[in-house]
Amino acid sequence: MRTERSVHRTILPLLVVASLPLILGLVFGAFGHVRTDGGDREHSAESVSLPTQSGESDVSVEEAIANRRSRREYGEEALSRRELGQLLWAAQGVTEGTTGYRAAPSAGALYPLEVYVVVGTPGVDDLEKGIYHYRPENHELTRRKIGTVQSELRAAGVDQEPIGEAAIDIVVCAVDERATGKYGERGRKRYVPMEAGHAGENLYLQAEALGLATVSIGAFSDDHVRDVLGIPTSQRPLYIFPVGGRT
Ligand SMILES: Cc1cc2nc3c(=O)[nH]c(=O)nc-3n(C[C@H](O)[C@H](O)[C@H](O)COP(=O)(O)O)c2cc1C
């Protein structure tokens, strides 16, 4: 009896220690977010390709500006992947391959913005509900989490209905450090929010040209949005754009 107990005492802790990697792997692999380091590194995240942007539209830039409106009601149709790709390209896509310059201007071409997509209901054709991160350099998404997230994002956005009712929510965040390294506080206080404004207006006008509906949302809890997206404190959420079809 005594021997059996001592064997258990020795073997049980060993078994627990040996199983730790498996237990941690299951917990974080199945339910955890893929963390980023200042938006630069993403581990073992699956890539989702987006159609090449078309570069053509029947709507002139003047018409898009004239007709742009904040629209808070959305249709029941899912967005197409082409529409999603076009929206993300307008916000932060690379428009000059050799330099890496993007659709929206950036102080010192430092590109502090990181763009996330929360796919809800009705969502996007052939894309599971969840959280995705836009990678401008490859014009693709990396999948961060699969599951229902939109209702929690709505809660983070002081329960604003458009966030929960749109097909998707595009969340524009910033890694301030990329701008403060060169520009100090001016980078954080002025340049970064200005850049979010540029990306945001591009999103509005692109949505207009595609016949979609969107609204810029600035009222939300930064910490709660960070928590929902699973992003570190080095990233600051600046805007939420619910996007859907027109009613
Ligand atoms: C910085 C900023 C923050 C905003 N935040 C919200 C918001 O939290 N919720 C909302 O419904 N609209 C928000 N809006 C949209 C404004 O309400 C909208 O732009 C304004 O009513 C003018 O309407 P228009 O965009 O159709 O011209 C925001 C707009 C800006 C520029």
Q: Point out which residues pair with 115 in neighbouring strands.
A: 172
> Which tops the pLDDT comparison, 25 or 146?
146
For the chain, what percent of residues have pLDDT higher than 70? Answer: 81
Which of 68, 215, 221, 246 best tests ligand 1's pocket when mutated (most atoms within 8 Å of CB)?
Answer: 215
Nearest to 199 by CA among 81, 70, 93, 96: 93
61 C-alpha vs ligand 1 centroid, how far in Å? Answer: 21
160 Cβ inside 6 Å of ligand 1:
yes
Least confident of 40-49, 93-102, 116-125: 40-49
User: Which of 200, 183, 179, 184 has the alpha carbon at shortest distance from 111?
Assistant: 179
Q: What is the pLDDT of residue 30?
A: 33
Query: In the predicted model, what is the mean pLDDT of residues 141-151?
Result: 97
Cβ(70) – ligand 1 distance below 6 Å: yes
Q: What's the pLDDT at 33?
A: 38
- Span 186-201, mean pLDDT? 98
Nearest-CA residue for atom 15 of ligand 1: 216
Q: Is the pLDDT of residue 6 over 60?
A: no
Instruction: Report the alpha-carbon distance of residue 43 to residue 48 in Å, rounded.
Output: 15
216 lines ligand 1 (CB under 6 A): yes
Q: How far is the CA of 214 from the centre of ligand 1 (A)?
A: 10
User: Does the pLDDT at position 45 exceed 90?
Assistant: no
Which band of pLDDT confidence, cut at 50, 70 and 90, is reported for residue 48? very high
Strands 94-96 and 46-49: unpaired
Q: Which residues, in sequence order, are CB contacts of 137 under 8 Å at separation 6+?
A: 94, 100
Query: Is 67 a pocket residue for ligand 1 (Cβ < 6 Å)?
Result: no
pLDDT in tens, 165-179: 999 999 999 999 999
pLDDT mean over 107-126: 98
Q: What does the pLDDT average to over 124-145?
A: 97
Ligand 1 geometric centre to CA of 194 (Å): 16
Q: How confident is the model at residue 8 (pLDDT cuts 50, 70, 90)?
A: low
For residue 111, report the distance from its CA to the centre of ligand 1, in Å. Answer: 24
Distance 69 CA to ligand 1 centre (A): 9
Query: Which atom of ligand 1 is nearest the CA belonging to 220?
Result: 8
Q: Which of 169, 187, 185 is nearest to 111 (CA)?
A: 187
pLDDT score at 239: 98
Residue nearest to atom 9 of ligand 1 (CA): 217
At 178 the pLDDT is: 98
Using an 8 Å Cβ cutoff, are 94 and 100 in contact? yes
Q: For the segment 73-115, what is each residue's pLDDT rounded down to a tens digit?
A: 999 999 999 999 999 999 999 999 999 999 999 999 999 999 9
Kindly give the distance from the C-alpha atom of residue 219 to the centroid of ligand 1, in angstroms, as a whole number: 9
